[in-house]
Amino acid sequence: MSIRQTEFGTLPDGRKVDLFSFESDKGVKLAVINYGGIVQSLTTPDRDGRPGEIVLGFDALDGYVAKPNCYGALIGRVANRIAGGRFTLEGLDYQLNVDGAGHSLHGGAEGFNRKLWDADIDGERLRLDYVSNDGEEHYPGTLAASVWYSLVGNDLKIDYEAKTDQTTIVNLTNHSFFNLNCCARDILAHEARLQAERYTPVDASLIPTGEIAPVAGTPMDFRKAKPIGRDLEDVPGGYDHNFVFSRINPGLEDWLAEIYDPDSGRVLKMATTEPCAQFYGGNFLDGSDIGHGGVVHKKHFGVCLEAQRHPDAINHPNFDSIVLDPGETYSQTTIYRFEAR
């Protein structure tokens, strides 16, 4: 399979952004831009073989620059939230840039989703590289990150690596919003199944309390497939929670999450080496963004499955560590499989 490279647009400072297009022998089409490492387009067939766009995004670069809502983007240095943007590492206190809620979110105001990554077609993979300098967004250490996108058959595979010259923290992910009915309606009728017996409860500002709680008997129980909207009234603010998988999956042999759209028959499966995933139901989409082909991004018009380590882990000793030391390599792999039935 060859990867086609074309120009996608120009940033305000004059730098060029390229688009890299993939097409598999199963009719799956993928487009990635090196601004933010964004999955700009993802087209898959429904149960009748008809192709359709299943990710939220924009047809032009201006949308991503003007509306930095992380659509399809690579997230770093640290995905999700850090309470108050504060943490202590090796006896030193750090204060990160914070959002309007007073917390660090998805790497800060100038996170990896707003960086122009170096791009190289590496055989049948797209390799993206970005060096985050010491002090960027007030994180310690110079972090060299690499991400590879590949498309084989029905599988989109994302491999991540990072190395540092100073002890730091890192937790990378991809923030694609999926809508398997191609935005004909919201995702509340999509059926979700998560192999997660526990989740991390959050406070009113979506910061983990530190508890790792059972899903049994709560609206967070997706161990058996159910419509995303079934218990939504019992989840204040909607789903935006970290689920802890019931098993570690280093060999990627288990599909730890699955989303199914009964209307189109499309199925999304996820396997990951990470211990957790953020399950987000598009609660903050408000109709102000106009996406592919004029689609309005209304509330609940996308669902995210963000493979990650525990959010705010640096402030909770009982969570999996996100500390990276010199000489170590951070790595994770996530596979999204697209089927129809």
**3 state DSSP class of 292:** helix
Contacts of 329-332 with CB under 8 Å at 24 or more apart are 329/161, 329/162, 329/163, 330/160, 330/161, 330/162, 330/163, 330/170, 330/172, 331/159, 331/160, 331/161, 331/162, 331/273, 332/159, 332/160, 332/172, 332/272, 332/273, 332/274, 332/307
Active site residue 274: no
Q: CA-CA distance, 251 to 273, in Å (whole number)?
A: 7
The count of C-alpha atoms lying within 13 angstroms of the C-alpha of 219, restricted to the half-sphere facing its C-beta, is 17
| Strand-pair category, 81-82 with 330-340 | unpaired
Active site residue 339: no
Burial per residue of 244-268, b for 16 or more beta-carbon CB atoms within 10 angstroms, e otherwise = bbeeebeeeeebbbbbbbeebbbbb
Task: Point out the catalytic residue in the list 136, 137, 258, 306.
Answer: 306
Nearest residue to 113 via CA among 70, 162, 155: 70
206, 229 contact by CB (below 8 A): no
Dihedral (Cα; 31, 39, 284, 259), 10-degree rounding? 90
Q: CA-CA distance, 224 to 193, in Å (whole number)?
A: 6
Task: Point out the catalytic residue in the list 103, 106, 136, 175.
Answer: 175
Cα–chain center distance at 76: 10
Q: Which residues are catalytic?
A: 175, 306
